Structure 1
Amino acid sequence: MSAADAARSEIVGKLARGSLLSRLIGSRKSPLRLTAVPRDHVDGNRARGDALLAGRFVLGSEAVPLADLDFAALGADGPFAESLQGFSWLRDLAAAAGREKGAKVAEALVGRWLVAHGTRIDEAWAPELWGERILFWTAYAPYVLSSRESGYRSALLNTLARGARHLDANADKAPAGLPRITAWAGVVAAALLIQGGLPRVARSEAGLMRALAAAQFEDGGLMSRSPEEQLLLVDRLGLLRAAYFAAKQTLPDLLESAAAAALAALHGVTMGDGGLSSWQGGNPGDPARVAALIEGCGLRARPLRQARGWGYHRLSALGTILVMDAAPPPPPKMLAGSASTLAFELSDGAQRIVVNCGGPGLLPHHLPHELVQALRTTAAHSTLTLDDTNSTAILDDGSLGKGVSDVVIDRSEDNDSSRVTASHDGYLRGFGLLHQRSIVLGNDGKEVRGNDQLLPKGRKKIRESAPFAIRFHLAPGIEATATADGMGAILRPPGAPPWNFRCRGAMLSIEESLHVSGAGEVIPTLQLAVVGEVSALGGQTAWQFRRSS
């Protein structure tokens, strides 16, 4: 008997004991069943699935042997525990194994979860975890409900029903944003798929629409302004759409519109390699995973270009893509927010040219706390920093303080180019200066022209002068060589033609930098730093990136 078979037999044995089984089943007389099983069209991560078959759960930089996994001791705090408790890994398992082989692993782990958490309401019953659990248990019912052991099946189905009732009463207690949306998506999925639930669908839909309205801008982006969370939002709504189709129920128009808008906003922050641009402490992620979620969600949408609420403006021309942050940071209560206003990222085809330093995002990591906080600063983004001060303060507790409250945007397109001009007031209180950035992308995709201005406004005046630095963090692998006059550099990316950089109005230096990869690894790289001083009268610096061929 294999280890997986032995583990499953042990779990089934525990569930078959009268006291535990009766507590899991309750007093219900007739057996429960799912009325339909949704089909998840998103391909999972085969490597992570293979690791599960080999007896290890891997996420980011952390791993645990399944033989040592104790759901009771695991808790539900942090990305690693949340991923295990939410059961999204069933998708990866299915990518690596068919039902017969995968069910041995899945049922053993579900059985352990039932023993640890099925008889009492604890931290694993958090609304957002139950919402995710319902979406994945129902979509992968063939993997978790293949057992012929009636005790196990009854325990799982009845715990699922109890979880759905608990969630129905507690979904609004989940934190606002993606967690509350996930909770309500689980409520709707349970109403659609568990027998007897259809009368509750309309009420559940109303709760979900409330959660979406409180978390989404009108243009479809989340108010957290996190591309990683936006990716998960598209995934959650895609799984829910699959539940509607499986149940042969009509998807409400408002929900379909919200899902399509969410996808358009996500498209708007993807770069030429298919990965995400790095904002709000996030990183590019895995381009293959991003592509799988977009392809499998069942929706189609064009990239959002003019994002008034979501705030990320997209310029593109013949394979060159530029994404600019032209909005205030997220609300202070969202601790992962960054002081990145007016920064941008640039890619040439699949090659990234200009990046932000990024951060660990939603993955488990072992990066020092001081580094993670530093990655949220203005200096860690490709924009202007005045007197080494963040455009929005980052407080000691990780929350955002005073700074950018208003961003004024003007965008125009013509036969030759696309232009975005935006200004923010983050330096007005401390220095009496507005930062205005104008970026123009030529329609041949070969040239990006920029102009950074510091404009005096209000009564506050700096006494003499203040130093500034305009940073352009370069993607890993790009070689940078300064020109003889010290006002330019030749950039040689490994996967694209060379680019030339020029600046006017300040001096250029090439300095060390770093970038957090989609796997959460810190990679040394370079940055172009255009440095100078500004007086109370303000000043401006022009710069240009031009592809050599």
Structure 2
Amino acid sequence: MSDDAADSAADGVEPGKRLVRTSGRAGLSLADRISEHFYRLTWRTPLHDMRLKGRHPLKLIAVAEDPFFGDPERGNALLDGVVMFRGEERSIAGLDFARADWSKPFGEYLQSFAWLRDLSSVTVRVTAAPIAEAITARWLAAHADKVSEPAWRPDLWGRRILFWTSHAPLILSANDLVYRSSVLHALARGARHLDRAADRVPLGVPRIAAWCGVLAAGLMIPGGDPRRSFGETGLKRALDGSVFDDGGSVGRSPAGQLEAIQLLTMLCESYDARRIEPPAFVQAALAKMVTALLGVCHGDGGLASWQGSGPIPGQVIAQTIEATGVRTRALKQAREWGYQRLAHGGTVLILDAAPPPLSRLVQGGCASTLAFELSDGKHRIVVNCGGSGMADASIPTALVDGLRTTAAHSTLVLADSNSTAIHPDGTLGRGVIEVELARHESENGSRVEASHDGYARRFGFLHRRIVALGGDGRDIRGEDMLIPADKRRKKGMTSFAVRFHLHPSVEISPTADGLAAILRTPDGHLWQFRAKGGALAVEDSIWIDGAGKPVASEQLVITAESPPGGANVSWVFHRAK
């Protein structure tokens, strides 16, 4: 048996067909939304305020290590008196938490206190503490005693507790006893709030963050043993509902997967600070989550761009995995998470072979079913535009919304429509419900055949894609087919396009016959692309880099029309040099 075949056996990959089903695309029902609205209104009542009262801790039992290095650029900006995040800036002197005039991503960065990591990464405590305490004091003045959104959102409190307890020397170094007491009092109130609210946030990263906060408080605040026991039960329940058996998160976002791993690793550091062994279920979850994360990493070690994620650099991934202590291989077939990894001879192809995530579990889901990304060694070739969930503030909202569409992904687009509808409010609507999948492994390479029903209701077609990667990694052969979904066929021709967005570093040289193109990677490798069944053109595209900034690029586009009986387009990438 070859190494690739052995890896496949370890992944449980068996030839044959498997049907992936979802329970619907709907978000929260009207009754659920009304219930949630009234629950949040109770935060303002005297009863909830009574629930937050209790003993004031005088100190923390221990201080956990933050095992992750922050962003030096953001850290240095803080030293200059500026909070900076994804192209948005605010002066520390002008911060007014009571009248927030910033975007949601900036607010989450600021109010989660994730900036403490960036600040601690660029200077020593004596320099960082006055800056950290100044921002913390402003937050306390606006929100310590007033329970409101978004400041008291459970997932933000969970993150805040992790960062406060990991960077306590930066926010508790002052000689001002009133200020120190205010910080510890707010921490205790936030923990009591989480005790009741952690299970009210959506499954996935938000609920994991909330329960990690409960546990960190139970470990670091004196008298927290009952909370720790309660929190471990809650976190296990959250992980059972938020992480698939294959290790992928229910939101299907690689960036979300990375964040969940980092949250759990920070929690493990809290246990370590108390010299207590983390629960076995946390370590087991980390092991399978790291395996799944590696499955969506390219040859450069960075993340692929799926479900709002961007190409987070390989050094961030490597540092995160090192901090977990997990040693494992990349998962090739994620049955439930849905990403198929084909890897031979230094070539990596990652295919999205599952429906988009449920609307009630994510914000900003993407219509990317059956798209793929391709890399040769450390160089990416075929990409998705990506980055809608981490876009720089300078990018117009309309463009950010466009990054979620099917056309922004390397797949077939029928009648210039999304395979899964994207509503004006940003939620996902009807579209892909079922994905049928067959994967075959042999010494000659890997082959995946998958189809989805996202266009069946509106246009009467199934989209089927076949992708095969040769055993030496030099050939990728593919075919995209439109197959009638039932006997009732719609009349007339339907236009479609098969898009291959290319990384900005790839140079394109179309051939004279208009049927092929030569692609050159930065290391001099030449890839020949040839298509059959449609007209080939080179069009402008855009790619969101690891910092969330837009970079101009190009795309190969095969256009054709399908009669009611269906159509097919075949294509091949061949590494000539």
Q: Please give the per-residue CA displacement for 1:120-145, whole angstroms capped at 9, x wherever unaligned.
A: 22221221111001101111112222
The more displaced of 331-340 and 295-304 is 295-304
Q: Distance in 2 between matches of 1:390 and 1:302?
A: 34
**Which residue identity does 1:163 align to in structure 2?**
G
Aligned to 2:333: 306
Q: Distance in 2 between matches of 1:495 and 1:340?
A: 29
Q: Distance in 1 between matches of 2:288 and 2:230?
A: 23
Aligned-pair CA distance for 1:356: 0.8
State whether structure 2 residue 62 is matched by structure 1 residue 36: yes
Contact 2:391/2:400 (CA < 8 Å) preserved in 1? no
Aligned to 1:536: 564
Aligned to 1:376: 404
Match for residue 482 of structure 1 among 504, 510, 515: 510
Aligned to 1:133: 160
Match for residue 205 of structure 2 among 178, 181, 188: 178
Q: Distance in 1 between matches of 2:485 and 2:300?
A: 41
Aligned-pair CA distance for 1:27: 7.8
Q: Distance in 2 between matches of 1:343 and 1:545?
A: 16
Q: Distance in 2 between matches of 1:259 and 1:76?
A: 34
**Which residue identity does 1:401 align to in structure 2?**
G
Aligned to 1:196: 223
Decide whether aligned partners of structure 1 residues 444 and 52 sit closer, same or farther in structure 2, where only a CA change above 3 A counts.
Answer: same
Contact 1:472/1:527 (CA < 8 Å) preserved in 2? yes
Aligned to 1:503: 531
Contact 1:383/1:470 (CA < 8 Å) preserved in 2? yes
State whether structure 2 residue 373 is matched by structure 1 residue 345: yes
Aligned-pair CA distance for 1:75: 7.4
Q: Distance in 2 between matches of 1:293 and 1:405?
A: 34
Aligned-pair CA distance for 1:421: 1.1
Q: Distance in 2 between matches of 1:75 and 1:167?
A: 26
Match for residue 263 of structure 1 among 262, 287, 290: 290
Aligned to 1:12: none
Match for residue 316 of structure 2 among 289, 293, 298: 289
Aligned to 1:460: 488
SS of corresponding position for 1:264: helix
Contact 1:431/1:460 (CA < 8 Å) preserved in 2? no
Gaps of 5+ in 1: 1-22
Aligned to 2:118: 92
Aligned to 1:518: 546
The more displaced of 281-290 and 165-174 is 281-290
Contact 1:53/1:93 (CA < 8 Å) preserved in 2? yes
Aligned to 1:111: 137
**Which residue identity does 1:40 align to in structure 2?**
D
Contact 1:274/1:291 (CA < 8 Å) preserved in 2? yes
Aligned to 1:161: 188
When normalised by structure 1's length, the TM-score is: 0.91
Q: Distance in 2 between matches of 1:117 and 1:302?
A: 44
Decide whether aligned partners of structure 1 residues 377 and 32 sit closer, same or farther in structure 2, where only a CA change above 3 A counts.
Answer: same
Contact 1:80/1:363 (CA < 8 Å) preserved in 2? no
Match for residue 437 of structure 2 among 391, 409, 416: 409
Contact 2:509/2:519 (CA < 8 Å) preserved in 1? yes
Match for residue 527 of structure 1 among 550, 555, 577: 555
Aligned-pair CA distance for 1:195: 0.9
Decide whether aligned partners of structure 1 residues 35 and 152 sit closer, same or farther in structure 2, where only a CA change above 3 A counts.
Answer: same
Contact 2:157/2:213 (CA < 8 Å) preserved in 1? yes
Q: What percentage of aligned pairs have identical amino acids? A: 49
Q: Distance in 1 between matches of 2:454 and 2:494?
A: 15
Aligned to 1:241: 268
Q: Please give the per-residue CA displacement for 1:148-196, whole angstroms capped at 9, x wherever unaligned.
A: 3333222222221121112112212223321121111100111111111
Q: Distance in 2 between matches of 1:299 and 1:246?
A: 19
Q: Distance in 1 between matches of 2:385 and 2:53?
A: 52
**Which residue identity does 1:52 align to in structure 2?**
L
Decide whether aligned partners of structure 1 residues 300 and 193 sit closer, same or farther in structure 2, where only a CA change above 3 A counts.
Answer: farther
SS of corresponding position for 1:275: coil
Aligned-pair CA distance for 1:423: 0.8
Q: Distance in 2 between matches of 1:374 and 1:163?
A: 38
SS of corresponding position for 1:500: strand
Q: Please give the per-residue CA displacement for 1:225-274, whole angstroms capped at 9, x wherever unaligned.
A: 11111111111111011111112222222221122222222211122223
SS of corresponding position for 2:501: strand
Q: Distance in 2 between matches of 1:50 and 1:173?
A: 37
Q: Distance in 2 between matches of 1:76 and 1:250?
A: 40
Aligned to 1:18: none
**Which residue identity does 1:514 align to in structure 2?**
I
Aligned to 1:218: 245
Match for residue 384 of structure 2 among 356, 362, 366: 356
Q: Distance in 2 between matches of 1:156 and 1:131?
A: 15
**Which residue identity does 2:125 align to in structure 1?**
R
Aligned to 1:49: 75
Q: Distance in 2 between matches of 1:89 and 1:412?
A: 46
Q: Distance in 2 between matches of 1:476 and 1:178?
A: 31
Q: Distance in 1 between matches of 2:466 and 2:163?
A: 45
**Aligned Cα root-mean-square deviation (Å):** 2.1
Aligned to 1:64: 90
Decide whether aligned partners of structure 1 residues 292 and 47 sit closer, same or farther in structure 2, where only a CA change above 3 A counts.
Answer: farther
**Which residue identity does 1:38 align to in structure 2?**
A
Contact 1:36/1:246 (CA < 8 Å) preserved in 2? yes
Q: Distance in 1 between matches of 2:456 and 2:110?
A: 46
The more displaced of 289-298 and 450-459 is 289-298
The more displaced of 52-61 and 358-367 is 358-367
The more displaced of 289-298 and 420-429 is 289-298
Q: Distance in 2 between matches of 1:76 and 1:417?
A: 50
Aligned-pair CA distance for 1:429: 1.8
Match for residue 300 of structure 2 among 259, 262, 273: 273
Q: Please give the per-residue CA displacement for 1:368-423, whole angstroms capped at 9, x wherever unaligned.
A: 23222222211111011122222112222222222111001111211121111111
SS of corresponding position for 2:540: strand
Q: Which has the higher contact order (CA 8 A, sep 6+)?
A: 2
Contact 2:450/2:466 (CA < 8 Å) preserved in 1? yes
The more displaced of 425-434 and 348-357 is 425-434
Decide whether aligned partners of structure 1 residues 498 and 170 sit closer, same or farther in structure 2, where only a CA change above 3 A counts.
Answer: same
Contact 2:391/2:549 (CA < 8 Å) preserved in 1? no
Aligned-pair CA distance for 1:363: 4.8
Aligned to 1:5: none
Contact 1:227/1:282 (CA < 8 Å) preserved in 2? yes
Aligned-pair CA distance for 1:539: 2.6
Q: Please give the per-residue CA displacement for 1:494-539, whole angstroms capped at 9, x wherever unaligned.
A: 3451211011222211111111222222222111111212222223
Decide whether aligned partners of structure 1 residues 189 and 326 sit closer, same or farther in structure 2, where only a CA change above 3 A counts.
Answer: same
SS of corresponding position for 1:96: coil
Q: Distance in 2 between matches of 1:39 and 1:433?
A: 54
Aligned to 1:81: 107
When normalised by structure 2's length, the TM-score is: 0.87
SS of corresponding position for 2:572: strand
Runs of 4+ in 1 over 6 A off after TM superposition: none
Q: Please give the per-residue CA displacement for 1:55-83, whole angstroms capped at 9, x wherever unaligned.
A: 11111110111121222223796110111
Decide whether aligned partners of structure 1 residues 430 and 192 sit closer, same or farther in structure 2, where only a CA change above 3 A counts.
Answer: same
Decide whether aligned partners of structure 1 residues 504 and 34 sit closer, same or farther in structure 2, where only a CA change above 3 A counts.
Answer: same
Decide whether aligned partners of structure 1 residues 203 and 76 sit closer, same or farther in structure 2, where only a CA change above 3 A counts.
Answer: farther
Aligned-pair CA distance for 1:291: 3.3
**Which residue identity does 1:33 align to in structure 2?**
K
